[in-house]
Amino acid sequence: METIRLTAAQAMVKWLSVQTNEEGERFIEGIWAIFGHGNVSGLGEALWHAQDSFPTWRGQNEQTMAHAAIAYAKTRRRKRAQAVTSSIGPGSTNLVTAAALAHVNRLPVLLIPSDIFAGRGPDPVLQQIEDFDDGTVSANDALKPVSRYFDRIMRPEQIMTALPRALGMMTDPANCGPATLAFPQDVQAEAWDYPADFFEQKVWRIRRPEPDPREVAQVVALLKAASRPMIVSGGGVVYSEAEGALLAFAKTHNIPLVETQAGKGAISWEEPLNFGSPGVTGSAVANDVAAETDLVIGVGTRFQDFTTGSWTVFSHPGRKLVSINLAGYDAAKHAALPLVADARQAIRAIDAALGDKTYAGQDKDRRAAWFDATDVLCAAPNHDDLPTDAQVIGAVQRQALENTVAMCAAGSMPGYLQVLWRASPGGYHMEYGYSCMGYEVAGAMGVKLAAPDKEVICFVGDGSYMMANSELATAVMRRVPFTIVLTDNRGFGCINRLQMGCGGAEFNNLYASCNVEQQPQIDFVAHAGSMGAFAEKAANIAELEAKIVAARGRDIPTVIVIDTTPYPTHEEGGHWWDVAVPEVSERREVNEAREKYVGMTIKQRIN
């Protein structure tokens, strides 16, 4: 048997460089790296030799490097991914939040945190976490609950089983998520005689499981008995590339559909059967349709509480629930009738069995009335008051192109964008499974790297920007252009609104209600400019629109700052969200909110 003598790190890099997808692209495109004493010598040296076949990119923070990688994989519909390596200790634990984000959103990313010495000779090493009762524990154990696959490479030959298992999980549509390969620094440098055929090119195909005919028959029977079915289109529709099949099915049988945050943009907003978003951040017309439906058909959705209004939106007394999902765990939630299969294959099977069955049409006038109402919310203000988030969205929407992608993650904007943004197909990128503050800037870079032909517009509040902005410098260095619309409401405006909505006093969210000696005067324009971005402030909505257009000619990120109001304004749509309100309080407002809360919990249906 022919062998090649390599270090474990060299072998890992060489193997990753020849793993491809069905399109012939390298499945792991490359690796984000911040080097330290755990990986600079072993893995760092291996990556230096492989620069032409497996690129390395330097970031500013392990968490945000992973955010960029995750956004890249989401944009590439899980057909391509990226890796991230860190040193031991804080470098490793910085990855935990990003791993959780990937886990919740079912997105592939390969994490290669360095680990302490497998040989234990120099224990304890710098940055080592010691468990007094378990000598096998390191900081990387914190990644176990947020990884879909976890392994620790204790001998150089173990990569021959660990690497295929990791990529097997990452390309499994039912089990996709983050893989963590903890890599002790001494093992990285150890050599072994690897079989030459281990490094032959391998093609990873994403399977399409066919539905069980018995489950299809059960779903069809429910459809034939239903009067007013409705489709909830989730992220699984996008990853399955089932948009065309789902729309054809809806049109053939005249079934209205709504879209979750992950599914938004699968079907054009202009499609008459698309009634927008359901639930907490839902359009009023979508929630009306949801309340009337007697059969909810979830396609590629986890039925998260925002989608279901904490299970109060689908309120028809006789309604039944169908869940089409690749993961049996998701398909069986809330006593749904499960159909475990690829979304596209399942829809086609149901369509063929349903025949020419059609349903009564929806009232087109109320859909038109919804858009009329939101036109008013998004229109430019004719006064000097601070603009609302809706007015900012309206400004960007009026200047959006067919190739514009609106992206966001946390704060007020995700809710407003879901209910108000009119997405072209593929024009929406929202991280709302984990709703992670700090994802936005790095995520925008990841989206643009994955789709360089798209115009990426990142909506971020001042709170999220303050949490994680350093990859803006990386985007400048790599000449990755995108536009950031930074809405400054001087604190955590979203949670301040929620606090007030639950009857609480304004406290510790806006800077004005924080325990500080002096109110901060943060110059976001100067800050972004100091990292090399083109940064400027828009004095009003008209200036914002003009600056959105001007940004298109640049080859670096543009940051446009605009002051907005932090307080609730007149809104359309929306629904109740189960956020527990205290039973006992000295505040009248809390007691009133508690009374309303109890009234809504009575309406919850969890099965």
What span, in angstroms and rounded, lies between the C-alpha atoms of 111 and 94? 11
Q: Answer whether residue 424 is part of any domain.
A: yes
**Same domain membership, residue 246 and residue 170:** no
Give the percent of the chain with pLDDT over 90.
96
**Same domain membership, residue 523 and residue 379:** yes
**Same domain membership, residue 61 and residue 133:** yes
270-327 tens-digit pLDDT: 999 999 999 999 999 999 999 999 999 999 999 999 999 999 999 999 999 999 999 9
Task: Please determine, for residue 362, whether its predicted confidence score (pLDDT) is greater than 90.
Answer: no
**Same domain membership, residue 390 and residue 493:** yes
What span, in angstroms and rounded, lies between the C-alpha atoms of 53 and 46? 11
Q: Answer whether residue 92 is part of any domain.
A: yes
The CATH number given to whatever domain includes residue 119 is: 3.40.50.970
Task: Please determine, for residue 568, whether its predicted confidence score (pLDDT) is greater than 80.
Answer: no
Answer for the pair 266, 292: CB distance below 8 angstroms, yes or no: no
Q: Answer whether residue 569 is part of any domain.
A: no
Residues sharing a CB contact under 8 Å with residue 195, sequence separation 6 or more, in sequence order: 1, 2, 3, 4
495-514 tens-digit pLDDT: 999 999 999 999 999 999 99
- Residue 291 phi, psi dihedral angles, 5° rounding: -70, -25
**Of 183, 203, 223, which marks where a domain is finished?**
203
Q: Answer whether residue 68 is part of any domain.
A: yes
What span, in angstroms and rounded, lies between the C-alpha atoms of 24 and 91? 33
Buried b / exposed e along 485-498 (16+ C-beta atoms within 10 A):
bbbbbbbbbbebbb
What span, in angstroms and rounded, lies between the C-alpha atoms of 17 and 167? 13
Q: What is the pLDDT of residue 533?
A: 98
Q: Answer whether residue 605 is part of any domain.
A: no
Q: Answer whether residue 146 is part of any domain.
A: yes
Q: Could you count the other beta carbons within 10 Å of the beta carbon of residue 251?
A: 13
**Of 203, 232, 266, which marks where a domain is finished?**
203
**Of 319, 341, 362, which marks where a domain is finished?**
362
85-113 tens-digit pLDDT: 999 999 999 999 999 999 999 999 999 99
SS3 78: coil
Residues sharing a CB contact under 8 Å with residue 529, sequence separation 6 or more, in sequence order: 535, 559
- Residues 432-449 have a mean pLDDT of 97
233-270 tens-digit pLDDT: 999 999 999 999 999 999 999 999 999 999 999 999 99
CA distances, 552 to each of 469, 546, 559 (Å): 21, 11, 12
- Among residues 188, 191, 180, 147, the alpha carbon closest in space to that of 36 is found at 188
- Average pLDDT value for the chain: 96
Answer for the pair 99, 108: CB distance below 8 angstroms, yes or no: no
- Residues 359-368 have a mean pLDDT of 88
Apex CA 273: angle with CA 267 and CA 274, to 5°? 45
**Same domain membership, residue 217 and residue 198:** no
Name residue 383's amino acid.
Answer: H
Q: Residue 446 sits in which domain range?
A: 367-563
Q: Provide the CB-side half-sphere exposure for 564 (13 A, CA).
A: 32
175-213 tens-digit pLDDT: 999 999 999 999 999 999 999 999 999 999 999 999 999
**Same domain membership, residue 514 and residue 478:** yes
Q: What is the pLDDT of residue 205?
A: 97
Task: Count the domains in the chain.
Answer: 3
User: Would strands 178-184 and 191-195 be described as parallel, antiparallel, or unpaired?
Assistant: unpaired
**Same domain membership, residue 279 and residue 195:** no
**Same domain membership, residue 512 and residue 375:** yes
Task: Please determine, for residue 364, whether its predicted confidence score (pLDDT) is greater than 90.
Answer: no
The CATH number given to whatever domain includes residue 352 is: 3.40.50.1220
Residues sharing a CB contact under 8 Å with residue 249, sequence separation 6 or more, in sequence order: 255, 347, 348, 350, 351
Name residue 446's amino acid.
Answer: G
Does residue 124 have a cis bond before it (omega within 30 degrees)?
yes
**Same domain membership, residue 341 and residue 490:** no
**Same domain membership, residue 144 and residue 30:** yes
369-389 tens-digit pLDDT: 999 999 999 999 988 899 999
Q: What is the pLDDT of residue 321?
A: 97
Q: What is the pLDDT of residue 363?
A: 82
Answer for the pair 422, 394: CB distance below 8 angstroms, yes or no: no
- Residues 371, 406, 287, 339, CA torsion sign: positive
**Length of the chain counted residue by residue:** 607
- Among residues 509, 503, 504, 427, the alpha carbon closest in space to that of 462 is found at 509
* Burial class of residue 40 (count of CB atoms within 10 Å of its CB; 0-12, 13-18, 19+): middle
- Residues 14-34 have a mean pLDDT of 98
What span, in angstroms and rounded, lies between the C-alpha atoms of 298 and 428? 20
**Same domain membership, residue 224 and residue 302:** yes
Answer for the pair 54, 47: CB distance below 8 angstroms, yes or no: yes
Q: Give 52-56 contacts, CB < 8 A, sequence gap 24+.
A: 53/17, 54/13, 54/16, 54/17, 54/26, 54/28, 54/30, 55/29, 55/30, 55/31, 56/30, 56/31, 56/32
SS3 194: strand
Q: What is the pLDDT of residue 571?
A: 73
**Same domain membership, residue 347 and residue 270:** yes
Q: What is the pLDDT of residue 570?
A: 66
Q: Answer whether residue 40 is part of any domain.
A: yes
Q: Answer whether residue 337 is part of any domain.
A: yes
Task: Please determine, for residue 430, whether its predicted confidence score (pLDDT) is greater than 80.
Answer: yes
Q: Is 491 left (phi over 0), alpha (psi -120 to 50) or beta?
A: left
SS3 521: coil
Q: For 18-170, where are the alpha helices, taking DSSP H only?
A: 42-49, 62-75, 90-93, 95-105, 159-170
- Residue 301 phi, psi dihedral angles, 5° rounding: -130, 150
